[in-house]
Structure 1
């Protein structure tokens, strides 16, 4: 909040432009009641004068006005370099409102949101407070900030490259479902000694126009690879306490102007080899427009890069005009949804429709989908509901200087661990007796895989506790020597075919001593809220291979365990009989059918019904009927467990 000359806080200022006096005054009264200093103006000329002299924090603009419509007003605000945040109001349809908001953003204005007339006081208050919560942002950080043209010349850029003035920041990418860190995108930053911050959308085109883009790209990539080698080193792993950083991906932006330069990509591959970085950990990002400019050149270059192991991402997807045929032809591994759609998802049905379409397209083509510009939990939840794979944006972290990444990671993982432990405790399963519903699944897994030991482990703060165990006498181990502890650092199945040959596990106590583990396969167990609480794991004293079909089968069985975990904290069981409710039974039966189909196993369904139950309830009372149901349930349970 701003302060006056005496240091006293001043209320935020709202300036309203609306030719409808009643509407404008209503907005002003709602804002006044919520602590804003609001003024209503009906004339555009007076409005512009007030913008200059009164310096409001927020502007509320109606689109349809007789003297000068809202689109013209916003264009003039952009021409003047207007800094206040904008709220757009109108009685026109949502598509027109969305188009007006997009036009304003493309002019560099800071649009908080749109609100259709008639609107409620609560929805207006929500937008006003959202505008103030966004707070002050710097030119370097804000994706929606309007940059005034900088007087940077090509000579300035040449000198910056010579003097090593281009620095990097790293923005994290995480899984939407779990929040697990997947990688970082390297972003170039130029802080000129005299001109100040020069944004990428100024110096990148300058480099492309004057033939400096390959030199800039190689300089950026060399710095980024040096950083990746350091952040993946054993020293960093010991500092942060996790090995997940050894497998993180690094995304690097490539200009379309560079696609024809074979020598550049050969140099990138050589730099990876020199630093012992697998190309599979590098994601090369190209904009949709750039990738489609010369589809023939793009196809040849991108195919070669994929053959070398690099991953490929099509950036800013949804902003270009590529044909579906061209997209399918090019060997991308990832689609990135443009942040302009993601940042407006809460307010725009059109943006949500685009996001849905891109996620479905990515899934149908077997590509990862990444959403850029995720700034709030509501948007992240929406993306998770759509099963979008990855997210990056201010909600996760702003672009970080290289030396701040380890501390950011340590703090964030500590917070995630506390949330995970709360979710685990909420299950109410720790230190509880064995249960047939879990033991049935571990027995099945042991029989299907032919291993000596199968466990359902729950990872507590300092220990690994076994809710179900087949082939092992102990009930818990220390967490720091648990294979499953390492499994939970990532989101994928972890397979160790031979522990004696594994650099991390070869000297574990369970490998060098009882139970002499040589093979391990563990799949994380997820709650529906995304937290990982434990694993379903296979253990054997002999090394063994573990193929794709094995992985699918273990995944199916782990899903069945997750269904049981969900029932632990819900009303999935009938109170009288202890059997599954109809909905829960359907979920469990579908999972069992999936396993049987995968293995080609026969399956039978036995149905029992008490035909005279209503008569028993009526003649002898409901207690008698409940006893009949309980006896039947008990009999069926005994038969199933026999």
Structure 2
């Protein structure tokens, strides 16, 4: 692997090269300025696989250097290094990712060798992203046929109690099992469903199927809550609460067995219109969760005006909060506010053991993420529950 270190401080360059050598990386070049680094990148066959770039440099700073990397179509990895405030470093990293650069991480000076090792191991473990194939588009007629013909299927991502590790329920995530194109993820067809005015048909189909699966789990001895995402279009349909009530009764489960997740960015467009629908759903004892909390502009007003029973903290404020003071402050403030309002708390994006341990100590109630499980087809749920009950004993104290 060819590595380029870009930093105007000679001592920092030498130290980082020395640390990389200790970790087994021998093909390391150094540059004292961003301008010099760009000249090296323009030389044929000289593009490095990984660049370590300081942010505070004279002439051309690291943020401007990032923009030039985009212009020269740099395809390797990038690690940002700085002695600046950690929030500035994280902002620069976010900007680079927004430009579709492969940011492996951000480091504060002096660079700890264990953190450097972790970033390099993670970056090498994950294979380079393949060029994204051009996305196929589908007509409204084809989407409607998929709904009617039952081609849309539900997968379920587990939600578990942090204190005990017990399985609490599942979030429903829709997929399209296309007969020719295979399994299609929702980001490829949901926008077209919404634009085509078919979201009501899709949501109602997904909800009925989720309730049917919840009844089957209950009959198998797993009385677990199922969560279903709802669209703004669902919340302005005045008959929606009555539809939900009928669907729950037909499935033969308690109203408390269903939770509707509402993304706040949708609500903030017109917070008054869905109030009647949401209030009637709560009167019918249907749970309401404010999803992706913290990503919109009207979060506090939403909590004031709408009777949510659960708050889901967005993954962007969860993963890595144990080591990031800014994320930690936002997460803890969100959890504290939810407790004062009597709301259950859920953390999305729990990706590793460190996330799990931190959330347990913070008093969050439920967790969801790849550390626990990816979304699963319904037939895999019983086996997953059995496996999880064995696994959770390794990181939850006996008797908890």
Q: TM class by shorter-chain length?
A: 0.7 to 0.9
Select the residue among 11, 14, 20 that pairs with 2:8: 20
- Residue 350 in 1 paired to residue 294 in 2? no
8 Å Cα contact 1:114/1:347 also seen in 2: no
- Residue 124 in 1 paired to residue 116 in 2? yes
Q: TM-score, normalised by structure 2?
A: 0.86
CA distance 1:363–1:48, change in 2 (3 Å): farther
**Structure 2 CA distance, aligned partners of 1:330 and 1:118?**
47
Give the unaligned 5+ runs of structure 2.
Answer: none
8 Å Cα contact 2:6/2:37 also seen in 1: no
Select the residue among 136, 143, 156 that pairs with 1:151: 136
CA distance 1:290–1:46, change in 2 (3 Å): same
Select the residue among 364, 373, 377 that pairs with 1:401: 377
What is the SS of the residue equivalent to 2:189? helix
Identify the residue that residue 24 of structure 2 maps to in structure 1.
Answer: 35
8 Å Cα contact 2:84/2:108 also seen in 1: yes
Alignment of 1:7-406 (within 5 A): 13=1, 15-20=3-8, 22=10, 23-36=12-25, 38-40=27-29, 42=31, 43-45=36-38, 56=49, 59-65=51-57, 69-74=61-66, 86-107=78-99, 111-132=103-124, 135-136=126-127, 150-155=135-140, 156-190=142-176, 192=178, 198-233=184-219, 236-237=220-221, 245-246=222-223, 248-322=224-298, 324-406=300-382
- Report Cα offsets for 1:50-82 as digits up to 9, x if no partner: 9998683x5533333456544355456678997
Identify the residue that residue 398 of structure 2 maps to in structure 1.
Answer: 531
8 Å Cα contact 2:53/2:80 also seen in 1: yes
Q: Looking at both structures, which has the greater relative contact order when contacts are Cα pairs under 8 Å and sequence separation is at least 6?
A: 2
What is the SS of the residue equivalent to 1:229? helix
Query: How many residues are aligned here?
Result: 394
CA distance 1:342–1:326, change in 2 (3 Å): closer
CA distance 1:106–1:310, change in 2 (3 Å): farther
**Structure 2 CA distance, aligned partners of 1:94 and 1:78?**
23
What is the SS of the residue equivalent to 2:123? helix
RMSD of aligned residue pairs (Cα, Å): 3.2
- Give the CA deviation at 1:130: 3.8
CA distance 1:151–1:17, change in 2 (3 Å): farther
CA distance 1:385–1:407, change in 2 (3 Å): same
What is the SS of the residue equivalent to 1:331? coil
- Give the CA deviation at 1:285: 0.6
- Give the CA deviation at 1:371: 0.7
What is the SS of the residue equivalent to 2:290? strand
- Give the CA deviation at 1:35: 3.0
**Structure 2 CA distance, aligned partners of 1:375 and 1:78?**
29
8 Å Cα contact 2:240/2:277 also seen in 1: no
Worse-matched range after superposition: 172-181 or 155-164: 155-164
- Give the CA deviation at 1:106: 4.3
Give the unaligned 5+ runs of structure 1.
Answer: 1-12, 140-145, 238-244, 421-528, 534-642
8 Å Cα contact 2:211/2:251 also seen in 1: yes
**Structure 1 CA distance, aligned partners of 2:30 and 2:360?**
42
8 Å Cα contact 1:25/1:40 also seen in 2: no
- Give the CA deviation at 1:37: 5.7
What is the SS of the residue equivalent to 2:297? coil
- Give the CA deviation at 1:290: 1.5
- Report Cα offsets for 1:500-536 as digits up to 9, x if no partner: xxxxxxxxxxxxxxxxxxxxxxxxxxxxx64317xxx
8 Å Cα contact 2:4/2:48 also seen in 1: no
- Give the CA deviation at 1:32: 3.3
